[in-house]
Amino acid sequence: MNYIIVSTLLCLTLLDTPATLASSRRSFINRINNVSSTWVAGENFPDSIPTEHLHYLNGFLGIDPDPNFIIAENTHVIPRNQIPADFDAREAWPECRDIIENIMDQGACGSCWAFASTEVMSDRLCISSKATKKFVFSPEDLLECCTSCRNQCEGGYINSAFKYWINNGVVSGGDYNSGLGCKPYSKEAHINSRIPTCVKNCQAGYKTSYKDDKKFGVSVYGVPAIVEQIQMEIMLNGPVIAGYEVYEDFYLYKKGVYQYVTGPKVGNHAVKIVGWGTENDTPYWLVANSWGRDWGDLGGFFKILRGKNHCDIENYITAGKSSASSVYICYFLIMLATVINSTFFFI
């Protein structure tokens, strides 16, 4: 049986006691807060957990270079002056708010790619069905069974995850210990995790079969690394997946608009962008993380600098469609009367 090594046996020396780790982390927090003017750092993880352990949370491998998994970009026509200064998918589609704002915890596993993918699948199915299909796709199912996605708890490709959704379907499943859906997540936060094997059965007591519980996607595509294109994609179809570079200071984010301050790069991470705005004159993307609701002061969400491709946040935007039917677009209802005679431009 293979195991992900996240224990103190690997990460700690005799001097790395919880007290020593806490002191070192407090010093790092103070250093960040003395420099940063747009965000605040603080403690998000127990003192007993070394920073090296946290590196396992970063499992985004990028875009699969295999020609069989290359995806096309989807480009929008941008109506002039119709992109709002602020947007939040939870408010744009209030009937799907409970799905969109659902923050899960990937535990001690580099499964961010599976969480970001299934969260966007869930959001877009709810939005496209006008909330008639509130289905939480299972990151566990994708993590276990998508062999083409790459390395399970050691990272995966988001484009391959969407291809799997289209070709094989994904069942339902909630967070760890939730008991929800066909296959709830099996990994507890900060606990050693086994590499899972693909189980094609639902949990005991679930009334639908594994085969019948599956729902499928119909398309996957990239979005150009242009702010307005990303914004239009979110407004028209719902949240998108982003992959970005993680630096050591990011683990300590509490609130504000994150911009890199100090520390080495520790990996790459996949997340879900749900909107944007401006805070104290600093433009940001509003992003859902998968490290639990206790991470940060925003209930598991964070803000990161928008418009500068900060940490590559705008480089790897991926999305897909859950239904072949026309997508319900609340934004369209707002702008219809003013756009008919507007000048359009590509950007």
Catalytic residue among 146, 289, 310, 311: 289
Give catalytic status of residue 96 as yes or no. no
Burial class of residue 19, CB neighbours in 10 A (0-12, 13-18, 19+) = exposed
- As a whole number of angstroms, the distance between CA 327 and CA 325 comes to 6
Cβ–Cβ < 8 Å for 146, 156: yes
- As a whole number of angstroms, the distance between CA 239 and CA 144 comes to 24
User: Which residues are paired to 59 by β-bridges?
Assistant: none
Give catalytic status of residue 269 as yes or no. yes
Listed in order, strand segments (DSSP E) in the chain are 39-41, 77-79, 87-88, 219-223, 240-247, 253-258, 265-279, 282-288, 301-305, 317-321, 344-346
Give catalytic status of residue 192 as yes or no. no
Q: Please, where are the H alpha helices in 36-101? A: 51-54, 89-92, 97-100
Catalytic residue among 96, 269, 310, 311: 269
Q: Whose structure tokens read 């996949």?
A: 270
| Element counts in the chain: helices (H) and strands (E) | 11, 11
Catalytic residue among 112, 149, 182, 202: 112
Question: Looking at the annotation, which residues are catalytic?
Answer: 112, 269, 289
